[in-house]
Amino acid sequence: MLLLRLLRFLRGYVRFRAADGFPERFLNLCAQDDIPVWDAQRAGGVLSGFTTIPGYKAMCHCAKAAGMRLRMDQKIGLPFFLHRYRRRAGMLVGLLLFLLCLACLSGMIWSIEVSGNGRVPAEIILQACEDQGLRIGLRRSRLDAADMEKRLLEIMPQLSWASINLSGSSVVVEVREALDGVSVENNTPQNVVASKAGQLEVLEVYAGHPEAKLGQAVLPGQLLASGAMANRDGSTRYLAARAYVVARTRLELDAYVLRAPARQLVTLEKTHYTLRFLWLQIPLGPQPKNADALQCYVDRRILTAGGKALPCWIERRSYLALTPGTMALSDKELRLTAAERLLTDGWRQFSQAAFLRQEITVDLTEGGCRMAMTGTLQENIGVSVPLDTTAPPPE
Amino acid sequence: MDIPAQLLPGASHLEIVGNRQAVIEGVKSVLAYESTGIKLHLGSLALSFEGSDLLIRSYQQQQVILSGVIAALHFTSAP
């Protein structure tokens, strides 16, 4: 039924109204002449219904023969629509251009998104994709996802897995990051030694022979689990010792910030906007004269429609002229800078440790600010070191 | 010999869907058409539909499709 209605719409049809005369004779004459009539309804001596455009023309003499006055009520369908706008060729051209653009643009990649990343910034992954040819404006048919995934993993060792999914005109680069510090287990003989001085609180030896006891104080490099195992017959066999060792260690961190540190001062700042559409670049203003000599920072604002990214974005380039100089910091700025440096160092070094107690001391002088952190930590101090199997075994 | 009735020349064929729609083939002409009653000429017989909101959905090539609320139908000899 829907298809029939669509066909009728495409071919065009009219709603007619016939009054007076003999409606039955009119219908019979129409049927005899093979004039299609549908939804014919009689109400109050008036017969109304629908017919095709040629049908209406042929219907006139049937109406005359049946003594009816025929009138067209409504014109429906595409031919009438086109006829109405026949003198407006620009609209038709615009419509055709729109359809052409739609057909061309739907064959291109409009947006690229990255998901699944944590430590590796999305910008770096996107840049790597662009280096491999995956960029906005690329024809979808030219995208070889399997090959691209392989090349992406080759140039980015930080990733352990990558998948490029094409959904319509959007590409989603899904990645999994490689885990740091995880090495493939091997059977190379090795010992577990202490990386720091501390007091042992947990010592779980999974392979090898324990060489320390709980509560014992250990020094850096001290053997905690040995990979050399003595057999009953006096011989020695070697294996890769594995142990989980947690010790209470001492925390000592400090950060020093100069009151007037050397830094790059901004002497000139210019902003330049560019409208980007796929591969097109439309500058929205004059570019600074000596742009190549200036430091440039790029920021993108992607335009969206209904939550979907469009292949159109505004690029803001900030050009900065930097000159070396010094800038004195206030006491508050000094403290904040020192605290930031101290916390950043602490996070970098002890991200896996538990802080049991800590004290922060601030020493503010004319020259700068020293911020020190002391306390107690609980951390894993066991590290594996290769075992020299040529040396004689310990007694 | 059993010959299906619909194969006989000039035979009309009537199909009713509930009391809402009827498809009639072999219609020679429409004898009367009102929203409360439609009378069709089927050759030797005349078929009358009575009801309300009756409407000829289509009338082409001796086939009439009518819809509406059909209350009764009567066969009478053709005029």
CATH numbers and ranges of domains, chain B = 12-77 (2.60.40.2000)
> Minimal Cα–Cα distance from B34 to chain A, Å?
6
Residue A391 confidence class, pLDDT cut points 50, 70, 90 = low
**Does one domain contain both A61 and A7?**
yes
Q: Which two tokens stand for residue A296?
A: 């440039």
Point out the least confidently predicted range of A21-25, A244-248, A278-282, A378-382.
Answer: A278-282
**Does one domain contain both A375 and A293?**
no
**Position of tokens 């577990």?**
A192
With CB atoms and an 8 Å threshold, state whether A30 touches B59: yes
> Minimal Cα–Cα distance from B2 to chain A, Å?
33
**Does one domain contain both A202 and A312?**
no
**Does one domain contain both A36 and A171?**
no
**Does one domain contain both A274 and A387?**
no
**Does one domain contain both A236 and A342?**
yes
For A258, half-sphere exposure in the C-beta direction (CA atoms, 13 angstrom radius) is 7
Mode of pairing for the β-strands spanning A170-177 and A159-167? antiparallel
Contact A298, A126 (CB under 8 A): no
Residue B67 pLDDT greater than 90, yes or no:
yes
Tell me, what CATH number does A22's domain have? 3.30.70.340
Residues A190-245 pLDDT 10s: 899 999 899 999 999 998 889 999 999 999 999 999 888 888 888 888 888 889 99
Of A40, A41, A42, the CB nearest to B59: A40
**Does one domain contain both A243 and A293?**
no
**Does one domain contain both A300 and A224?**
no
Nearest to A318 by CA among A346, A344, A287: A287
CA dist., res. A370 & res. A254, Å (int): 7
A&B contacts, CB < 8 Å: 46
A43 located within any domain: yes
**Does one domain contain both A247 and A303?**
no
**Does one domain contain both A314 and A384?**
no
CB count within 10 Å of CB A186 equals 8
**Does one domain contain both A291 and A370?**
no
pLDDT mean over A133-157? 89
A93 located within any domain: no
Write the DSSP string, A335-378: HHHHHHHHHHHHHHHHTTSEEEEEEEEEEE-SSEEEEEEEEEEE
Residue A287 belongs to domain spanning:
262-326
Sign of the CA dihedral running B62, B63, B69, B74: positive
Question: Into how many domains does chain A fold?
Answer: 4
Residues B43-59 pLDDT 10s: 888 999 999 999 999 99
Write the ipTM: 0.85
Q: Which of A275, A305, A326 is the last residue of a domain?
A: A326
Tell me, what CATH number does A155's domain have? 3.10.20.310
A87 located within any domain: no
